[in-house]
Chain A
């Protein structure tokens, strides 16, 4: 049952992402991406990560994507016609090389006997995850908290109103 659910969710995720990256209107793209992230959160739950699933919904779908929506609405971005870029042909060799590289990687993944092994039922309680996070990775948590502080200061510096007489060009 869980396996079937995993595949359904995976295809929902891929379909929502595909719709997202082809939308012309950025608001529609963000809403499709939120749907995809809900599917991804359920996949995390099926893979035994309930806390990560909850954070995926709260942080990604709830905070980051809403931040994108705020910016889109603040700037009043209309769906705009972007003229087709110069030289699709310039990208063609790179696209072909990347596609063959991807095919080789998928072939390796399929051939590897370990890849066929199933993921047995596994569930990590939030308490156990928190103990690992704050004992083994305590230093990483501290560094990340510093980084969040720096990002706040950087975002403030970039977003503050320009001082008088220093108009942006």
Chain B
């Protein structure tokens, strides 16, 4: 018997790790990896809730989430290649042309 709260705590810790990766690292690839980690934390919550309430919907959402992530990664990595061609660097601070 795994307590539901512990599964949620693992997912929360994983989400915090991903969020800190996005905030701390300044290389675009590592920021994307942080986004992946956060999405996986979300899917862990979905699967745990699906098992807790004994409903299949959570697992169906995880399958959809994986497809959406694959689409996101394809576009994001194409943008990484595009940015590399423009400036030969992947440090996020270099792309401040819009003064953000």
Residues of A at the B interface (CB closer than 8 Å) are 2-3, 6-7, 10, 13-14, 17-18, 20-21, 26, 29-30, 33, 37, 40, 43-44, 46-49, 51-52, 55-56, 59-60, 63-64, 67-68, 71-72, 74-75, 77, 80, 82, 85, 91, 102, 105-106, 109-110, 112, 114-120, 122, 124, 128-129, 132-133, 136-137, 140-141, 144-145, 147-148, 150-152, 154-156, 158-159, 162, 168-169
Contact = CB atoms under 8 A, between A and B. Distances in A.
Tier of interface size on chain B: 35 or more
B11 to A, nearest CB: 9
Closest 9 CB pairs of A and B: A118-B1, A115-B5, A151-B71, A21-B21, A158-B78, A155-B78, A122-B51, A47-B51, A159-B78
16 contacts: A10-B10, A14-B17, A43-B10, A43-B47, A51-B59, A63-B70, A64-B36, A67-B74, A109-B5, A118-B2, A119-B1, A129-B59, A132-B56, A154-B75, A158-B78, A168-B86
B29 A85 contact: no
A63 B23 CA distance: 25
Chain B binding surface, main DSSP class:
helix
Contact of A147 (B7, B43, B68): B68
B66 A74 contact: no
Given A68-B29, A154-B74, A168-B86, 6 more contacts: A3-B1, A44-B44, A67-B77, A115-B5, A129-B59, A141-B64
